[in-house]
Amino acid sequence: MYKPIDKDFFELPVLQLARELVGQYIVHERPEGLLVARIVETEAYHGPEDRAAHSFGNRRTKRTEVMFGEPGMVYTYQMHTHTLMNVVSGPIGTPHAVLIRAGEPVEGLECMKGNRGEHLRMIDWTNGPGKLSKALGVTMKYYGHHWGDEPLFISEGPGAQRVESGPRVGIGNSGEAVHYPWRFYETDNPYVSKYRP
């Protein structure tokens, strides 16, 4: 049922890609079965010109190196104890990326529940970027993988009925970039993360 989306999809400009990712599926093929979530929230990071981006000013480090690669690569990084998933965007050498902020569980619910904790409500499994990675069993080992290849891939989903945009979350030290409306989310979806300036 699920198959990797055409790799040309990732060649969209970063703001368009961030919007178009809303409504697509993330699929993780695991020995215990498929884990699938529908993307409901993303954030675009516009590389060298974006003070909120890890690659602002073309900053090239061991962490950001993959962002300079081909579009569609997986950029994972650690924040506290969480792994966050990003989709590299832009031509090779142009380090843009899209953070996948939240998803709606679709398949593999028992496994997601086990990954996140038996005590949590389903609504709290995937309504934030670190939560989503943990629910799907995605770790730092996927750094440099391609979102068009199994076992972790983006598959064409049903899309979103309506997508809104607004400021990104938790980037208060990034000057005027804090106001850019580069967070995209499905209107009224309960799995969208809570907005915190």
Q: Is the pLDDT of residue 184 over 80?
A: yes
Count of structural domains, the chain: 1
DSSP state, residue 57: G
Evaluate whether residue 107 is within a structural domain.
yes
- The answer to whether the beta carbons of residues 190 and 123 sit under 8 Å apart is yes
144: domain range? 7-161+177-186
Whole-angstrom distance, CA of residue 129 vs CA of residue 13 = 22
Burial class (CB in 10 A: 0-12, 13-18, 19+), 161: exposed
Task: Tell me whether residue 196 is in a domain.
Answer: no
Do the domain assignments include residue 49? Answer: yes
- Catalogue the E-assigned strands of the chain: 25-30, 33-45, 74-79, 82-89, 96-107, 152-155, 163-166, 183-186
pLDDT at 169 over 90: no
- Each residue's pLDDT tens digit, 105-164: 999 999 999 999 999 999 999 999 999 999 999 999 999 999 999 999 999 999 999 999
For residue 129, the model assigns a pLDDT of 96
In a domain, 172, yes or no: no
Determine, yes or no, domain membership for 167. Answer: no
Q: Residue 197 pLDDT > 60, yes or no?
A: no
At residue 64 the predicted structure's pLDDT band, cuts being 50, 70 and 90, is confident
The pLDDT score that the predictor gives to residue 79 is 84
In a domain, 96, yes or no: yes
Q: Within a domain: residue 33?
A: yes
pLDDT above 90 for 81: no
- Report if residue 194 sits inside a domain: no
- CATH number, domain with residue 90: 3.10.300.10
- Token pair 């996927």 is found at 142
Q: What pTM value is reported for the model?
A: 0.94
pLDDT tens by residue, 3-51? 999 999 999 999 999 999 999 999 999 998 999 999 999 999 887 776 7
Spatial separation of the C-alpha atoms in residues 151 and 27, rounded to whole Å: 8
Backbone CA torsion sign across 36, 186, 126, 183: positive
pLDDT of residue 137: 97
